[in-house]
């Protein structure tokens, strides 16, 4: 009968979660709002069917593991690095500000110091999922605003891992006990990270690659699940959070050739168990908190919308980015995300947070996630308001517009990625007076190029919007030098679609990408590994006394053979 009870609870939770998600989508809200509302409906605080909170919480733990494993899989150092000068200090200042204000304000509503810290941690984190979906719906994913906001959220995601590692130390109580416990936990966490990121980074990718070679999809999925659950279990055995372990497990897999397939396979599992997690969170929301603790709820919402949202905009405005970027970043960050629930729940289980504070976090999450699309849509109105402020707006917008493609460009070359590889092509074209436009994700580099009179645009070349700004429709040549495989693939595909007559030359990481690049529309694919080996071979032949022209002809023949074999 226990099995029947478990099946009943899962079936009901998923069914009401589906209904809630569909209802939320019909009114153009995030499905997360619907999942939380579904949990309230079957929770112990509302009449009607009452779900088994304890049973669903155990299953929801798997949802937490897959959520954090997914974050680790999609953790992209390059995305963060391109906006590091604003995202890293800005997000850290924002989280410290929100936590400090929450501790101070929470004291007026009976929240002690430790509870105030946990409450501050929970309110300081935003939902990457909500922001990305909103940006996609508004067609802004390739914009500077999107890159800054997403970089900011990546820093928050990383900070969540450290916050979770700090919670056991907070449970110790007292400054001395906290410092001892925090020191011990940090040492354990450091050892765990060192072991997993060194030994695991060698073993796990090798195992996944070997399983992938067998050609069995179900075995590969099983291997990915074992990695996620195994590393999480290892973290738990070391006294750390399973969420921390799952995140590290995702990072171990993220940089390997099997990461894209692993991410695709884990998505269905993550989505299904994540629904159970959100429903179980909603089941703990007592609607009476709005009646019994209106001040605490108002405080939490005020911190999210004013301190967090407006504060983020002001912090971002202090960095060398346009004022509109600061406004969109503030609008995106002004909500409470899924990892806030994890922090809050860990706080409740550790005795650090009481029911009223927990319910205040859930209430602020539901309201802020619901209003987030409206907040985004209101940015133009806020911009008009701030423009009337005169001095304030001129200070916030002191950087002026970002460098864009020059008007009138036609028949030009577009160099996607202007690092050491792209700069060689740019230098040659400049010497020959061939018009070209450099596109790079490093805003400081783009500004330096624009200042030197070199046409440049900032952004992700995989974005259609950025390609439009580079006048790709009127270009004659595209040279793709970006090192990231997915960016290169999307750049080639989108550019070919926008300009069928464009000649495309692309850099590939390895021979395995040659056929794929050509299928997407690349005219020439260059593999640096091949080119370096061929040049070494040619030089070796010349050193052995062979005629230079003969060595060159032999090198070209070998080159053609290798590239044709990969086509």
Distance CA 16, CA 38 (A): 5
Q: What is the structure's pLDDT at 212?
A: 76
| Closest listed residue to residue 235, CA positions, set 246, 227, 224, 225 | 246
Structure tokens at 45: 């605080």
Query: What confidence category does residue 540 fall into, taking pLDDT thresholds of 50, 70 and 90?
Result: confident
Residues 6+ apart with CB under 8 A from 452: none
pLDDT at 274 exceeding the cut of 90 = no
Q: How, if at all, do strands 456-458 and 524-526 pair?
A: unpaired
Q: Interhelix angle for 338-349 vs 53-73, to 10°?
A: 130
pLDDT at 564 exceeding the cut of 70 = no
Query: What confidence category does residue 308 fall into, taking pLDDT thresholds of 50, 70 and 90?
Result: very high
Flag whether the pTM goes above 0.95: no
Using CA atoms of 361, 366, 370, 376 in order, give the dihedral in degrees to the nearest 10. 10
| Range among 172-176, 185-189, 315-319 with highest mean pLDDT value | 315-319
**More confident position, 446 or 260:** 446
Distance CA 241, CA 567 (A): 47
109: DSSP letter: G
Q: What is the structure's pLDDT at 284?
A: 75
> Do residues 334 and 372 lie in contact, with contact meaning Cβ atoms separated by under 8 Å?
yes
pLDDT at 303 exceeding the cut of 90 = yes
Structure tokens at 289: 């908190």
pLDDT at 400 exceeding the cut of 70 = no
Residues 6+ apart with CB under 8 A from 392: 386
| Range among 47-56, 162-171, 219-228 with highest mean pLDDT value | 219-228
Q: What is the structure's pLDDT at 76?
A: 59
| Closest listed residue to residue 281, CA positions, set 358, 167, 335 | 358
**More confident position, 386 or 215:** 386
CATH of domain 413-526: 3.40.50.720
> Do residues 241 and 165 lie in contact, with contact meaning Cβ atoms separated by under 8 Å?
yes
Distance CA 500, CA 496 (A): 5
Measured on CA atoms in the order 153, 141, 466, 478, is the torsion positive or negative? positive
Note the residue count of the chain.
567
**More confident position, 217 or 411:** 411
What does each C-alpha distance from 293 to 37, 279, 366, 514, 531 come to in angstroms? Answer: 19, 23, 16, 62, 68
| Mean of pLDDT values over 19-26 | 88
Please state the domain extents for the chain: 54-387, 413-526
Q: Bridge partners of 437?
A: 414
SS3 content of the chain, % helix, strand, coil (to 5): 75, 5, 25
Residue 537: strand, helix, or coil: helix
pLDDT per residue as tens digits for the range 99-155? 999 999 988 887 778 888 899 999 999 877 677 667 766 656 556 777 788 788 878
Query: What confidence category does residue 71 fall into, taking pLDDT thresholds of 50, 70 and 90?
Result: low
| Closest listed residue to residue 299, CA positions, set 252, 364, 354, 238 | 364
Query: In terms of DSSP H, where are the helices of 28-143?
Result: 31-41, 53-73, 77-82, 84-106, 113-124, 128-137
Q: What percent of the chain has pLDDT over 90?
A: 10
Distance CA 92, CA 90 (A): 6
pLDDT per residue as tens digits for the range 239-257? 666 766 777 777 777 755 5
Measured on CA atoms in the order 183, 184, 187, 192, is the torsion positive or negative? negative
Residues 6+ apart with CB under 8 A from 336: 122, 123, 125, 126, 127, 304, 361, 364, 365, 368, 369
DSSP labels, 299-338 = HHHHIIIIIIIIHHHHHHHTSSS-HHHHHHHHHHHSS--H
Q: What is the structure's pLDDT at 299?
A: 93
Mean pLDDT of the chain: 79
Distance CA 465, CA 322 (A): 18
Q: Which fold has domain 54-387?
A: Na+/H+ antiporter like fold (1.20.1530)
Q: What is the rounded end-to-end Cα distance, in angstroms, of the chain?
A: 59
pLDDT at 453 exceeding the cut of 60 = yes
439: DSSP letter: E
| Mean of pLDDT values over 171-199 | 68
Distance CA 204, CA 177 (A): 37
């Amino acid at each position: 009968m226990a099995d029947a009870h478990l099946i009943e609870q899962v079936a009901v939770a998923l069914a009401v979660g589906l209904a809630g998600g569909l209802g939320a989508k019909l009114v153009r809200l995030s499905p997360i709002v619907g999942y939380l509302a579904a949990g309230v409906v079957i929770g112990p605080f509302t009449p009607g069917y009452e779900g088994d909170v304890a049973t669903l919480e155990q299953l929801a733990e798997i949802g937490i593991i897959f959520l954090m494993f997914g974050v680790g899989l999609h953790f992209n150092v390059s995305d963060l690095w391109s906006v590091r000068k604003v995202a890293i200090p800005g997000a850290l200042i924002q989280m410290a500000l929100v936590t400090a204000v929450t501790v101070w304000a929470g004291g007026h509503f009976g929240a002690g110091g430790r509870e105030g810290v946990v409450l501050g941690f929970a309110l300081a984190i935003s939902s990457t999922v909500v922001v990305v979906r909103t940006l996609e719906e508004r067609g802004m994913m390739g914009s500077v605003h999107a890159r800054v906001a997403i970089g900011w959220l990546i820093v928050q995601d990383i900070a969540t891992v450290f916050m979770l590692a700090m919670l056991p130390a907070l449970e110790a109580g007292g400054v001395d006990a906290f410092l001892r416990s925090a020191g011990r936990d940090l040492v354990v966490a450091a050892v765990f990270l060192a072991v997993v990121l060194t030994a695991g980074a060698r073993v796990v990718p090798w195992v996944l690659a070997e399983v992938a070679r067998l050609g069995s999809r179900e075995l590969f999925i099983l291997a990915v699940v074992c990695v996620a659950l195994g590393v999480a279990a290892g973290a738990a055995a070391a006294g750390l959070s399973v969420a921390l372990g799952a995140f590290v497990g995702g990072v171990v897999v993220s940089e390997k050739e099997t990461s894209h397939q692993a991410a695709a396979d884990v998505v269905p599992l993550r989505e299904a168990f994540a629904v159970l997690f959100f429903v179980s969170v909603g089941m703990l929301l007592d609607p009476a908190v709005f009646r019994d603790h209106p001040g605490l709820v108002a405080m939490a919402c005020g911190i999210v919308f004013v301190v967090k949202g407006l504060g983020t905009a002001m912090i971002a405005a202090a960095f060398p980015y346009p004022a509109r970027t600061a406004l969109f970043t503030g609008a995106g960050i002004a909500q409470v995300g899924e990892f806030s629930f994890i922090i809050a729940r860990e706080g409740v289980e550790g005795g650090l947070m009481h029911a009223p504070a927990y319910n205040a976090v859930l209430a602020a999450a539901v309201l802020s996630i619901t209003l987030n699309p409206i907040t985004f849509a209101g940015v133009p109105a806020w911009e008009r308001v701030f423009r009337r402020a005169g001095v304030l707006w001129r200070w916030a917008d002191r950087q002026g517009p970002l460098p864009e493609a020059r008007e009138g460009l036609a028949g030009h070359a577009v160099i996607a990625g202007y690092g050491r590889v792209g700069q060689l092509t740019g230098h040659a074209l400049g010497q020959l007076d061939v018009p070209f436009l450099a596109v790079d994700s490093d805003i400081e580099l783009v500004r330096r190029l624009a200042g030197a009179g070199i046409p440049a645009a900032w952004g992700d070349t995989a974005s259609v919007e950025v390609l439009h700004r580079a006048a790709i429709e009127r270009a004659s040549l595209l040279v793709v030098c970006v090192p990231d495989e997915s960016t290169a693939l999307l750049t080639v595909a989108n550019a070919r679609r926008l300009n069928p007559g464009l000649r495309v030359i692309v850099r590939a990481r390895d021979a395995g990408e040659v056929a794929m690049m050509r299928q997407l529309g690349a005219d020439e694919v260059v593999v640096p590994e091949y080119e370096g080996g061929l040049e070494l071979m040619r030089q070796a032949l010349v050193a052995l006394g062979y005629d230079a022209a003969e060595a060159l002809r032999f090198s070209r023949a070998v080159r053609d053979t290798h590239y044709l074999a990969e086509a």
